[in-house]
Amino acid sequence: MSQGDLEGATIKDLVVMFTAIAVKQNAALEGMKSAEYNRLYRQMERVEAQLKVRQGDQRRALIPLYHHPSPTVRFKAAMATFVFAPQEAREVLQLIKDRKEFPIAMNASQMLSAIDEGRYIPN
C-alpha cells in the first residue's frame, strides 16, 4: 500500500483497510509472528494517519468497529478513537479484558492500567 493509494482512498476504503490490517494483526499475534505483526503495525499507523489528516479528523469513522467480531479490530478501533469517545473506547477495552479475548486481552488490560494511572495520553 503506497502513500498515493492512501491519499486517493475514500474514508470508507480507509476503514476497510484498517479492518483488514487489524484482522491480519490478530492472525499474526495468534501465530506469534512478531515480524509480520510489526509490518502490519506500520501499515496501520499509515492508514490511521491518513484518516487523521482528513477534514475534521476522520478517525471517528472507526467508531462503528467497536462492534466488530474480532477483538483485535475492536481494540485497534478503540485506541484510534479514544480521543473522541474515551468512555465508550474504555468500555470496549474493558469488555475485551473481561471476556479474556486473548491474545489482545493482555494489551487491553495494559492500556486500561495506563489510562487509569494517567500514563496514556490520546492524540
Domains of the chain: 3-116 (1.25.40.70)
Cβ 61 vs Cβ 15: under 8 Å: yes
**pLDDT exceeds cutoff 90 at 2:** no
Report the chain's mean pLDDT, rounded to a whole number: 96
Cβ 104 vs Cβ 96: under 8 Å: yes
Nearest to 108, CA basis, from 83, 74, 62: 74
| pLDDT confidence of residue 4 | 74
* Percent with pLDDT over 90 in the chain: 93
User: What is the grid cell recorded at 23?
Assistant: 484482522
Helix, strand, coil distribution of the chain in percent, nearest 5 = 75, 0, 25
pLDDT digits (tens, 9 = 90+) for 93-112: 999 999 999 999 999 999 99
Q: Which of 3-7, 20-24, 54-58, 62-66 is the least confident region?
A: 3-7
Round to whole Å and give the CA distance between 85 and 116.
16
